[in-house]
Amino acid sequence: MNEIAIAVEAIKNAVLRSQYQAAKDVNRVQLALYFGVGRFLFSKKGKRTWGTKVLESISTKLRNELPGLRGFSAENLKKMRQFYENWQFLDSSDLTNTIQKLPVRRNSVVATTELEKAVVIIPEFIINAPDFPLEDFFNVPFTHHVAIFGKVKNLVERYFYITKTAQEHLSVDSLKLSIKRHDFQRKKEATNNFPSTLSNSKIVRKAVEMFKDEYLLDFINVEEIGERDIQDIDEKVVENEIVHNVKNFIMTFGKDFSFVGNQYHLEIYGKEFFTDLLFFNRELNCLVAVELKKGEFKPSYLGQLCTYLKILDDKIRKPHENQAIGIVLCKTVDKKFAEYVIQDYNKPMGVATYKTMADMPEKMQKVMPDINELKKLF
């Protein structure tokens, strides 16, 4: 058997075995198959006889052997090779060297069997990097992976887009738009002290990814609530609107948030405090306190929030829960100044801004549906 025939036989058997397991875990099995095929093709990379024409021949012969087979065009075979090349550090079995050393015996079934074993159906991924988002990795379709490693070179940035895609169920177009918008860079610019105050690196990554640096609370229409001057709106008005529209707020804030209460009562040594909004996040397994401020960020807000977090951790938190996180929501913030101040606190906190309907450009407000008309429709 020549090399092309051997390759076709090995990949064909890998496809058949993966199809058998696909009912259990479609995406995981598919990615594992592509990883294994990519590993095999990568071992041939650099050989003059293994150029584009060889991939086209393999693709054609595979379709002949397995009528109706999709996803194994020459271009996709090339992407599988790139997939392995970009993630080969996940492969701890060192099969690449093994494949390269395999003797190719012409007209021998032995060669086919050895190469078939080399195209491992489900590679045993042993992750040396503790921050690697393994679960999210397997929940991201292959086409999305191609978009990520094709446009993003930084490893941490790739982790970010993998997690974002898995958790937000992004389409390929939405993912590409997110990369084009540089969402990762915007996340990095968010003001918080999570890396220095949260001990678990996985929780740090999730917390950084979860909280934004600005929230659009477009369900709060100040004219609708009888206010004419945006400067006259205080935190209580915004808080009441958030409580009234808590479902909308949670959808804006992110996934896995449950509303605990507003003006949540805290007490220590006879002193009473009331945190504006209190949530619980299932993903982070912690309480999240949100403080609303109508004006510009002030350092004293962090001191106030730090006190609330201390009491929440000591008096409210359950033994199995992680430490509470706090977010200050202001109208405006000098980010560099806030970053400078927040690093001295030992409780995990972030500072973000918010906008209401009144803050939106007039042109945008005009195209938004009228709230009274919507009420009539419903």
Poorest-confidence range of 44-53, 54-63, 254-263? Answer: 44-53
pLDDT score for 123: 45
pLDDT score for 255: 73
Minimal CA–CA distance to 248: which of 287, 218, 210, 209?
218
Poorest-confidence range of 34-43, 64-73, 178-187? Answer: 178-187
Q: Under DSSP, is residue 63 helix (H, G, I), strand (E, B) or coil?
A: helix
- Rounded CA gap, 117 and 9, in Å? 11
- Residues 6-27, mean pLDDT to the nearest whole number: 70
The neighbouring-strand residues paired with 262 are: 277
* More confident of the two residues 268 and 376: 268
pLDDT score for 226: 42
Q: Under DSSP, is residue 95 helix (H, G, I), strand (E, B) or coil?
A: helix
In this prediction, residue 341 has a pLDDT band, given cuts at 50, 70 and 90, of very high
* Half-sphere exposure at residue 329, Cβ-oriented, CA atoms within 13 angstroms: 25
pLDDT score for 297: 92
CA distances from 372 to 92, 218, 240, 369 (A): 61, 15, 20, 9
* More confident of the two residues 367 and 56: 56
pLDDT at 361 > cutoff 50: no
pLDDT at 88 > cutoff 50: yes
pLDDT at 101 > cutoff 50: no
pLDDT score for 111: 40
* More confident of the two residues 101 and 59: 59
Q: Under DSSP, is residue 378 helix (H, G, I), strand (E, B) or coil?
A: coil
pLDDT score for 227: 42
Give the model confidence (pLDDT) of 140-176 as tens digits.
999 999 999 999 998 888 988 998 888 788 889 989 9
CA distances from 30 to 36, 123, 133, 271, 319 (A): 10, 11, 18, 58, 40
* More confident of the two residues 317 and 355: 317
In this prediction, residue 114 has a pLDDT band, given cuts at 50, 70 and 90, of very low
Q: Under DSSP, is residue 106 helix (H, G, I), strand (E, B) or coil?
A: coil
Q: Burial level of 58, CB count in 10 A (0-12/13-18/19+)?
A: buried
- Look over the chain and give the mean of its residue pLDDT values, rounded to a whole number: 76
- Beta-carbon contacts of 242 under 8 Å, excluding residues fewer than 6 positions away, are 217, 220, 249, 262, 277, 292
pLDDT score for 146: 95
* More confident of the two residues 92 and 128: 92
pLDDT score for 312: 97
pLDDT score for 350: 92
132 phi, psi to nearest 5 deg: -65, 125
* More confident of the two residues 15 and 142: 142
Give the model confidence (pLDDT) of 278-320 as tens digits.
999 998 899 999 998 878 899 999 999 999 999 999 999 999 9
Give the model confidence (pLDDT) of 187-237 as tens digits.
656 688 888 888 777 788 778 777 777 776 655 544 443 443 444 445 666
% of the chain exceeding 90 in pLDDT: 26
The neighbouring-strand residues paired with 329 are: 292, 352
pLDDT score for 21: 56
- Rounded CA gap, 346 and 351, in Å? 15
Give the model confidence (pLDDT) of 256-274 as tens digits.
888 898 889 999 999 999 9
- Rounded CA gap, 165 and 265, in Å? 37
